[in-house]
Chains A and B, each alone.
Chain A
Amino acid sequence: MTRVASEALLEQDLASMKPLQGSLLEGRSLKSRIYTGITWGLAILASLPLFSVLYMLIAKGGARINWETLTALPPAAFEFGGGIGPAIVGTAIMVGIGSAISIPIGILAAIYLAEVAPHSKLAETARFLAKVLTGFPSILAGVFVYAVLVVSMKTYSAWAGGIALAVLMLPTIILTAEETLKQVPQKMKDAAYGMGCTRAQVVAAVTLPTGLPGVITGVLLAVAGAAGESAPLLFTALFSTYYVNGLEGLGQPTASLSILIYNFSGMPYDNQIELAWAASLVLVLIILVFNILARVLGRQKF
């Protein structure tokens, strides 16, 4: 209870004073506290899986993170040492191929959906299909590319792996880019049109630069997602214990982190299992970096 300069308090003030002092134990306030506490608890619970996975990976794989692990070839059966170098490079190459295909197509498609003909039949169809594709089981992308490319080329390859990843990245890029491009205020586009810009100039000079942070976020999230995919690569890139060897190497089976984890974790050798843990940690860190980048670069708002 606070006392408001009691001497100056006049009698009529006392008479018209309102009960403003609250009590922590009063029902209303108590309930509010309990609900706040519950949301705190659940928020912590929700982040528990991520932190426990990270903790486990660091505990089990952290010890093996060193230069040899990151660069050396995978060990053979009873060999000691070795590393996951080819898998890191392979993942990077296939995600690179996937990005090179899906980023231009995705952004151009998004421009069509957001700017060129948003209400056309083609746009409605493309938008619907992209949404369906986001929920597409990733293994089916692998099976599709297997049937189309691997069978006809008669070999597993980094190309096939990259294309399967592109199929999975495309809808994420299209839909996030469309969403951000649509958020660019019409009045900014009007200003550009009013100065005598063609539609292409409006898109290139105003819509894309203004929406860029959001587009980049979408692209990086798609990249992070693709880096962690394993099912589509199983049917397309398979695995290899060697580094990709030049351009021709892209036409041959290629290692990737996710398949390495899958292969090595099932082996009865401690060395391989340790490497699988290390590879898991590397993979999670790569994905984490892309997610953080997406947040940092996407922060800029118009």
Chain B
Amino acid sequence: MNATAEAGLIESTLLERNRNMDTNRETQMDTDRDDHQSRTSTPDSITAAAAWHVDPQQTVMDCRLNKIFYGDFLAVRDSLVPIEKNKITGFIGPSGCGKSTVLRSLNRMNDLIPVFRFEGTVTYHGQDIYDKSIDPVLVRRYIGMVFQQPNPFSMSIYDNVAFGLRLNRFKGDMNERVEKALRSAALWNEVKDKLKNSGLSLSGGQQQRLCIARAVATEPDVLLMDEPCSALDPIATRQVEELMLELKENYTVALVTHNMQQATRVADTTAFFSVDISEGGRTGYLVEMGDTQQIFADPREKLTREYIAGEFS
């Protein structure tokens, strides 16, 4: 939903820019374009698009996103995104390129949208989470999510963190786990004396760290973070970024960010998505994925280079 709203906002500028780019490419780089076309339309070209091979032993999730639809609208196509263990995988790209859609497909959050349709496989520790036998509710208990807008529940700070534990019928020492989660979200010192206060009484940055504490309390395997800092000020952003770097010791993190500096600061691996308007729609796809250093210092694709240079956003 967010992606479409966002898409609408920047549509005009992006359309125009892409149109210019397309004409440029048409006149100057016929070969490149052909290359590009064939690569994205044949199945084995997916691997070529990613051109990013990782040790299968190290991947927690192996995501082959062939087609993601909202109704008739093709939102994302032909993207291969491996998520590596104990690393932060950053997703960057212009607005409307489907990076949030991709992220929300990784724990089946998009199933809540009735018109959502997924073609492909998301292999999580050897199981395809889109298999018919899989219960999406259970998937989300292992693959947690932190959202763009801080969204604590309208209950006490303690209850917010304990929510997932109670949901999973946790039998151990609740106080200890709540404290541990709040500590790992770097929030404990600020809230330890007011655990009974409403989670909504906190500041925006604190609320987001509370949401992170809530997400890590149940010790999920993978944490999906959808632009977690976009509603935060620079200081809170810095705190959350430091937090992410600590979290990757124990968790695997996939991070959507609109902020390229953020990707360079925290991501180990970066996936660059772009939007393709050549066939009339606005379809996002993975342009390039690789080591963050390489993506920003020496991108293989011209599109990546242009985006990183700030030629379009």
Contact = CB atoms under 8 A, between A and B. Distances in A.
Given A195-B167, A201-B167, A187 B147 contact: yes
A195 B144 contact: yes
Contacts of B200: 302
Interface stretch (A80-88, A205-213, A283-291): A205-213
Interface string B121-163: 0000000000000000111110011010101111100000001
Contacts of A206: 153
A196 interface: yes
A188 interface: yes
B167 A188 contact: no
Interface in A38-95: none
A188 B153 contact: yes
B153 to A, nearest CB: 6
B154 A302 contact: yes
B218 interface: yes
B112 A193 contact: yes
B109 interface: yes
Contacts of A188: 151-154
Interface string A180-222: 0000010110111111111001000110011000000000000
Most buried by A among B109, B153, B163: B153
A187 B164 contact: no
B144 A194 contact: yes
Nearest to B200: A302
Contacts of B107: 194
B215 interface: yes
Contacts of A190: 109, 112, 147, 151
Interface of B: 107, 109, 112, 137-141, 144-145, 147, 149, 151-155, 163-164, 167-168, 200, 211, 214-215, 218
Interface of A: 185, 187-188, 190-198, 201, 205-206, 209-210, 302
Closest 6 CB pairs of A and B: A196-B141, A194-B145, A187-B151, A196-B140, A302-B154, A191-B151
28 contacts: A185-B151, A188-B151, A188-B152, A188-B153, A190-B112, A190-B147, A191-B211, A192-B153, A192-B163, A194-B107, A194-B140, A194-B144, A194-B145, A194-B147, A195-B144, A195-B163, A195-B164, A195-B167, A195-B214, A196-B137, A196-B138, A196-B139, A196-B141, A196-B167, A197-B167, A201-B167, A206-B153, A302-B154
